[in-house]
Amino acid sequence: MGEVRFGQAINKALDESLANDPSVVVFGEDIARPGGPFGVTRGLQDKHGELRVRDTPISEATIVSAAVGAAMSGLKPVVEIMFMDFMTIAMDGLVNQAAKARFMFGGQCSVPMVLRTPHGGGVNAGPQHSQCLEAWCAHIPGLKVVIPSNPGDAYGLLKAAIADPDPVIFVENKALYAAKGQMDDDAPALEIGKAHIARPGADVTVVTYGAAVNTALRAADTLAESGTQLEVIDLRSIQPWDEATVLASLSRTHRLVVLHEAVTAFGVGAEIAARMADVGFDELDAPIVRVGAPFMPVPFAASLETQYMPDTDDLIAAVHKVLA
Amino acid sequence: MTSNSRKRLLGFYERMLLVRECELKLSALFSDGEVPGFIHLSVGQEAVAIGVMDALNDADTIASNHRGHGHAIAKGVDLDGFFLEIMGKQEGICGGRGGSMHVADMSVGMLGANGIVGAGIPLAVGSALAHQVQQNNNIAVAFFGDGALAEGVLHESFNLASLWKLPILFLCENNGWSEFSPASLQFVAEVRDLASAFKIPSRQVDGNDVASVADAADEIVADMRKNGGPRVLECMTKRVHGHFEGDPQKYRDPDDLASVGDIDPIARCEAELKKLKTTAKDIDAIRGRVADRISAAADAGRAGTLPSFDHLLSDVYTPVQGV
């Protein structure tokens, strides 16, 4: 297949899953006839029919809870919530129903559903269309949270998410939709919970995920010019997350920075830092530093949002701090 | 009245009595400290669960609510496993993880009671979607009380089910009380008005007359299997016990509480049976069978073991081999 865009990779994973498994259904707001707000689901209804690929009304709570009920009744629904911010309306279905059904019914059922949703700023979409709320989901026992950083991973992780028997939140950074990347025709599904070392390096480990992986890779290029080698770990999945790979890297570099676009406070980075301070304490030659957004809603004005978003400069400053 | 209708009514009577006596037993066990947490009883509303379930098959699915003991028993949940669950035992149908508010039995299409008011409604919508996609001619039923009428997901669900012509029966069990507040202070419309607004055919029946409920459910479900699409059935009934067991119901008019006995569905059914020449001996035989069954289930509950904490983590996610 060669070079594909992020959205095309997701479309391919959905298309193949619909073709290969009659229990897969896809529904969400404007995903069928209009093809999705970002064009990701274009063509799926024409190809797989109105029974299995559907536009829903603007009813996020019912979209998600209906997916749960359908998953408990033999389907594998892949639903879309148009912006991750809108997931707030659907939290009962996710948190009280999907996440708990298997456990609270004593293992009688699984809830094999996927919720696809875009997060992230950088497109001046304002406070209610830009949030990164993945830590909310990762905090709930029973949910899995997957966040790809490139087209090939998006394809492989979505295939894995659809095949997974449990509810998976599949988070797509809006800034990545137009990104291009290499993908083989026979690209395999990826294992949820396995991180990928996006760039090996000996000096400082940077743990990140999603679009922030690209920020880290750019910072690594810059720092390499002055002789500092970053090891960039793309988590791919934050619940479960690959503690072993992070610890192994820390054991080589002895310095750790965690980077994400979400606000720093109480975020994914806090969990990773806390775990590494525990199991990796003896390996640490410097305090762990977190890089994320400041504790405020995402501002609208381009000039403000630029300052809000964690960037390569922020990461480079953090790297200098752990090397000081 | 034919002998068939007498036989049918005898069956309803026995099943309603089973629900009633199970709940009274649970109430006693709760008072004795053998049932942890809190329980919500459907005493006085048994005709709804029994009448509606008469129209369903095992492959039809239901989503229930916090007042769901009757729904679970009527749908065919194993009674020993039911008591074991509510008494918090390892052998309980959900391994002691759910309790009264989360009794579920996937093997009989019981997708769970629910601790969140109204939450079962969109779950049932999803189950109906599964039936429609699988083209299996099964239906889903969402049981909810009048208190759920004010929940947003009910309105979304009515719309989506009507839009997609889903095979779902929205079953409103109108007992007049939203927890501690009367329906008159909670909701300005009627469920039939909502149904009409969303273009869903609806009916209202006396929910304390089991034959009326069963007749309506049989007709509606047969029509749904033939013609598809959602329906609304409102069963007018009355809550006898408090919102939860132990609720003294000081907010209720004593006359209102005193009058519930006059419309008791089981007493009415018994009176009807007597008109159909059912003898006291027949009734006593049923009462004896029900008492024995419940006594055995309660004994099973007591004999169960306390759940082990060791296995809990293994059911948070499904064990997966590879990808």
Using one digit for the tens of pLDDT, what is the confidence trace for B41-54? 999 999 999 999 99
Q: In this structure, are A163 and A200 located in the same domain?
A: no
Q: What is the share, in percent, of chain A residues with pLDDT greater than 70?
A: 100
The region of weakest confidence among A185-194, A292-301, B143-152 is: A185-194
The closest of B282, B288, B290 to B73, measured between CA atoms, is B290
Domain stop point among A183, A211, A227: A183
Chain B residues 285-314 within an 8 A CB cutoff of chain A: 312, 314
Q: What is the dihedral of CA A134, A253, A157, A162, to 10 degrees?
A: -60
Domains along the sequence of chain B with CATH: 3-9+39-78+101-280 (3.40.50.970)
Chain A residues in contact with B94 by the CB 8 A cut-off are 104-106, 108
3-state secondary structure of B222: helix
Q: Give yes or no for residue B119 having a pLDDT over 80.
A: yes
pLDDT tops 80 at residue A1: no
Q: Are residues A304 and A201 in the same domain?
A: yes
Q: Is the pLDDT reported for residue B2 higher than 70? A: no
> How does residue A2 score in pLDDT terms, banded at 50, 70 and 90?
confident
Q: For residue B130, list chain A residues with Cβ-Cβ distance below 8 A.
A: 69-70, 73-75
Residue B323, pLDDT score: 41
**Catalytic pick among A129, A134, A254, A283:** A129
Q: Which of A59, A63, A73, A91 to mutate to test the interface with B (most CBs of B within 10 A)?
A: A73
Is A114 domain-assigned? Answer: yes
Distance CA A67, CA B322 (A): 25
pLDDT above 60 (res B1): no
- Domain annotation covers residue A188: no
Contact residues on chain B for A56, CB-CB shorter than 8 A = 160
In a domain, A189, yes or no: no
> Would you tell me which residues 182-201 of chain A have a C-beta closer than 8 angstroms to some C-beta of chain B?
189-192
Please name the member of B96, B127, B316 whose beta carbon is closest to the beta carbon of A142. B316
Tell me which residue in A66, A110, A160 faces B122 most closely, judged by beta carbons.
A66
Q: Say if A242 falls within a structural domain.
A: yes
How many beta-carbon contacts under 8 Å exist across A and B? 148
Residue A91 forms contact with B (CB below 8 Å)? no
Q: pLDDT per residue over A7-30, tens digit each?
A: 999 999 999 999 999 999 999 999
Across the range A151-170, mean pLDDT stands at: 97
Interatomic CA distance for residues B236 and B209, integer angstroms:
9
Same domain, A171 and A224: no
Q: Cβ contact (<8 Å) for A106 and B92?
A: yes
* Statement to judge: residues A171 and A273 lie in one domain: no
Helix (H, G, I), strand (E, B) or coil at A130: coil
Q: Does B105 touch chain A (CB under 8 A)?
A: yes
Q: How far apart are CA B137 and CA B55, in angstroms?
A: 14
- A 46-75 residues with CB < 8 A to B: 51-52, 54, 56-57, 59, 61-62, 65-75
Q: Is residue A190 included in any domain, yes or no? A: no
Taking all residues of chain A, what is their mean pLDDT, rounded to a whole number? 97
Give the pairing type, strands A144-146 and A237-239.
Answer: antiparallel
- Token pair, residue A219, equals 């910072």
Percent of chain B residues past pLDDT 70, beyond the cut: 98
Q: Is A243 labeled as catalytic in the residue annotation?
A: no
Any A CB within 8 A of B321 CB = no
Which residue out of A60, A80, A172, A261 is catalytically annotated?
Answer: A60
The confidence score (pLDDT) of residue A187 equals 84
| pTM, to two decimals | 0.97
Query: For chain A, how many structural domains are there in total?
Result: 2
What sign for the dihedral angle of Cα B16, B17, B21, B24?
Answer: positive
| Domain stops at, among A183, A214, A229 | A183
Whether residue A118 is found in the same domain as residue A60: yes
The answer to whether residues A83 and A206 belong to one domain is no
A139 carries an active-site annotation: no
Do A211 and A247 belong to one domain? yes
Tell me: do A42 and A132 sit in the same domain.
Answer: yes
Would you say residue A31 lies in a domain? yes
Q: What is the pLDDT of residue B227?
A: 97
Check CB contact under 8 Å for A25 and B133: yes
Chain A residues inside the 8 Å CB shell of B143 = none
Q: Are residues A32 and A91 in the same domain?
A: yes
Residue A118 lies in a domain: yes
B188–chain A Cβ distance below 8 A for any pair: no
| CATH number for the domain harbouring residue A51 | 3.40.50.970
Clarify whether residues A138 and A113 are in a common domain: yes
Is residue A91 domain-resident?
yes
Q: What is the ipTM of this complex?
A: 0.96
Q: For residue B258, what pLDDT band results from cuts at 50, 70 and 90?
A: confident
Q: Give how far the C-alpha of residue B195 lies from the chain's centroid of Cα atoms, to the nearest Å.
A: 21
Instruction: Label residue B260 by pLDDT band (50, 70, 90).
Output: confident
Q: What is the pLDDT of residue A134?
A: 98
| Predicted confidence (pLDDT) per residue in B28-42, tens digit | 999 999 999 999 999
Note whether A107 contacts B95, CB cutoff 8 Å: yes
pLDDT of residue A320: 98
Distance (Å, rounded) from C-alpha A78 to C-alpha A170? 10
Helices of type H across chain B:
3-31, 46-53, 69-75, 79-86, 120-134, 152-164, 191-197, 210-227, 254-259, 265-275, 280-303
Q: Which residues of B touch A73 (CB under 8 A)?
A: 61, 111, 126-127, 130-131, 140
- Alpha helix positions (H), chain A: 6-20, 44-48, 60-71, 91, 101-104, 134-138, 151-163, 212-225, 243-253, 268-279, 302-308, 312-323
A52, A93, A192 ranked by CB distance to B122: nearest: A93
Q: Does B157 touch chain A (CB under 8 A)?
A: yes
Taking an 8 Å cut-off on Cβ atoms, the answer to whether A108 and B106 are in contact is: yes
Q: A77 lies in which domain range?
A: 2-183
Contact (CB<8Å) A92/B318: no
Straight-line distance from the first to the last Cα atom of chain A, in angstroms, rounded to the nearest whole number: 45
**Closest residue to A105, CB basis, from B102, B126, B134:** B102
Nearest to A265 by CA among A238, A234, A296: A296
Task: Spell out which residues of chain A touch residue B98, defining contact as CB-CB under 8 Å.
Answer: 104-106
Residue A155 and residue A300 share a domain: no
pLDDT digits 0-9 by tens, B77-110: 999 999 999 999 999 999 999 999 999 999 999 9
In terms of domains, do A15 and A159 share one?
Answer: yes
Parallel, antiparallel, or unpaired for β A196-199 and A230-234? antiparallel
Q: Which of A153, A183, A213 is the C-terminal boundary of a domain?
A: A183
Question: Could you say which residues from 129 to 158 on chain A have a Cβ atom under 8 Å away from some Cβ of chain B?
Answer: 141-142, 144
B257 SS3 class: helix
Domain containing A265 — which CATH number?
Answer: 3.40.50.920
Between B94, B96, B130, which is nearest A70 by CB?
Answer: B130
